[in-house]
Amino acid sequence: MKQYLDLCQRIIDEGQWVENKRTGKSCLTLINADLEYDVAANQFPLITTRKSFYKAAIAELLGYIRGYDNAADFRALGTKTWDANANLNQAWLENPARQGEDHMGRVYGVQGRAWQGSDGTVVDQLAKLVNNLKNGIDDRGEILSFYNPGEFHLGCLRPCMHTHTFSLLGDTLYLTSYQRSCDVPLGLNFNQIQVFTLLALVAQICGLKPGKAYHKIVNAHIYEDQLQLMRDVQLKRDPFPSPKLHINPEIKSLQDLETWVTMDDFSVEGYQHHDPIQYPFSV
Ligand SMILES: Nc1nc(=O)c2c([nH]1)NC[C@@H]1CN(c3ccc(C(=O)N[C@@H](CCC(=O)O)C(=O)O)cc3)CN21
Ligand SMILES: O=c1ccn([C@H]2C[C@H](O)[C@@H](COP(=O)(O)O)O2)c(=O)[nH]1
């Protein structure tokens, strides 16, 4: 929690104002942040200085794991986070690749589970790496990448957290996740949970011990209409200790994640938090 608050304070102290064309808003911006999560010790990086809707963040992650391309599927899992980008973004609404209400196009999980090669082959990056790790193999390329510049025009948003690299040392699994653009008040609240949970889940289905997860952020920003709430409300609060994440131990394979897992298979123990804060969202 301290590293999150330090990053917010650093943006306020050292950030520079940058105009963002896509959203029409200015962002107080800092380049480079390195966050670290101790998954082995189950120190779940849940924000405590406001109420965090962690199940929505895990639902989003599960939707990526399943390769969803539709905001309705995300809603069915328990999150509305893709509604705005699928249905309110003018550039996407005018894009001929959009196949109607809720369609997101070839984003995130679609690339992760069904990357299309130039010769027509379809690559399932997640299945490949789970298969290798389960068998104790780390070929130094156990990478799940959502970043496909050749298909940006076929999706509603370029992926923000775009690459996840898994590494095996003995029977301990590590994760390094890269994020190009980070809405610190809203997005990071979710992304921290997702990096942690992705390592915990992949370790569990591969029969490995989770180690640490490393989260590398390039452009970390606070939108102009979020700044006052962050500076004068959230940063004035004292954090509580980290809670613990419980994952149903019956989840044993990628197929389990693809088929029967719901948000009821995740719970948090010892979550003490301050009141919710509603930050404005920029489409
Ligand atoms: N500007 C922007 N920021 C983001 O963080 C973001 C995007 N766009 N577009 C794609 C996804 C969608 N994500 C989102 C979208 C909404 C919330 C949000 O509204 N969170 C609220 C409550 C959510 C709930 O009630 O379930 C929050 O207070 O955290 C969070 C992440 C993260 N990403
Ligand atoms: O997982 C996510 C997804 C999105 N974001 C934020 C970061 C930016 O504020 C916007 C995306 O805008 P771009 O113009 O494509 O950079 O969404 C996030 O923080 N986390």
Please check if 66 is assigned to a binding site.
Answer: no
For the cut 90, the answer to whether the pLDDT of residue 225 exceeds it is yes
In this structure, the dihedral spanned by the alpha carbons of residues 189, 192, 196 and 198, taken in order and rounded to 10 degrees, is: 90
Residue 158 Cβ inside 6 Å of ligand 2? The answer reads yes
* Per-residue pLDDT at 105: 98
Of 8, 27, 156, 160, catalytic: 160
- Ligand 1: residue of 27, 81, 182, 277 to mutate (most ligand atoms within 8 A of CB) is 81
Locate the ligand 1 atom nearest the alpha carbon of residue 278 and give its number.
Answer: 28
Give the mean model confidence (pLDDT) for residues 9-17.
98
Phi, psi of 48 (to 5 degrees): -110, -15
Question: What is the percentage of the chain residues whose pLDDT exceeds 70?
Answer: 100
Q: Is the ipTM of this complex over 0.90?
A: yes
Please tell me whether the overall predicted TM-score, pTM, comes out greater than 0.90 for this model: yes
Structure-block tokens of residue 282: 């920029």
Rounded-to-integer distance, Cα 23 and Cα 190, Å? 20
Residue 7 Cβ inside 6 Å of ligand 2? The answer reads no
For the cut 90, the answer to whether the pLDDT of residue 1 exceeds it is no
Burial class (CB in 10 A: 0-12, 13-18, 19+), 126: buried
Phi, psi of 74 (to 5 degrees): -65, -40
H/E element, 155:
none
Please check if 271 is assigned to a binding site.
Answer: no
pLDDT tens, position by position, 14-55? 999 999 999 999 999 999 999 999 999 999 999 999 999 999
pLDDT tens, position by position, 66-87? 999 999 999 999 999 999 999 9
| Three-state secondary structure call for residue 147 | coil
User: Measured in angstroms, how far is the CA atom of residue 283 from the centroid of ligand 1?
Assistant: 10
Neighbouring-strand partners of residue 115: 123
Give the mean model confidence (pLDDT) for residues 150-174.
97
